[in-house]
Amino acid sequence: MQGSELTDHIIVCGYGLVGEKIVDILREHSIKFVVVEQNKEKVDFLNERGVTAILGDATSSKVLRAAGIENARAIAVAMDDDAKNMFTVITAKSLNEKIIIATRANDEFLKDKLKEAGARFVATPNKSASDELFKELAKGT
């Protein structure tokens, strides 16, 4: 099945550490999704395992249309590059203004800008990890 044939699905942009975890959770809950990834080996790996994955750059309108952005419920923008995440948020919102957008930002200072661009939720993995580590360390004092 192609992403453009799906409706009410979630688009996952980037299949790195964060994207992989998102895919695992979506599969666990039997939620329809499609992955957009630039690495051909990762796309082949996913397709071989029955996961719909599209080779391409998520900042591209054409690629997001191939992933079914017009009929998608939500998009998870999980790439390592903050600039690409920003452009993907802007592009996704321009193609489907009702879509729910969750993204990551490596730089805490981009959080507000990503929300202004249309993201409903912005995770900062580095801050989240350091907060969790601090909580654990603080328990011992």
DSSP string, 43-97: HHHHHHTT--EEES-TT-HHHHHHTTGGG-SEEEE--S-HHHHHHHHHHHHHH-T
Domains in the chain, number: 1
CATH code for position 123: 3.40.50.720
Query: What mean pLDDT, rounded, does the chain reach?
Result: 90
The parent domain of residue 130 ranges over 3-139
- What pLDDT band is residue 135 in, cutting at 50, 70 and 90? low
pLDDT tens sequence across 47-58? 999 999 999 999
> What is the pLDDT at residue 129?
57
Share of the chain above pLDDT 90, in %: 77
pTM value?
Answer: 0.88
> What is the pLDDT at residue 109?
87
> What is the pLDDT at residue 131?
63
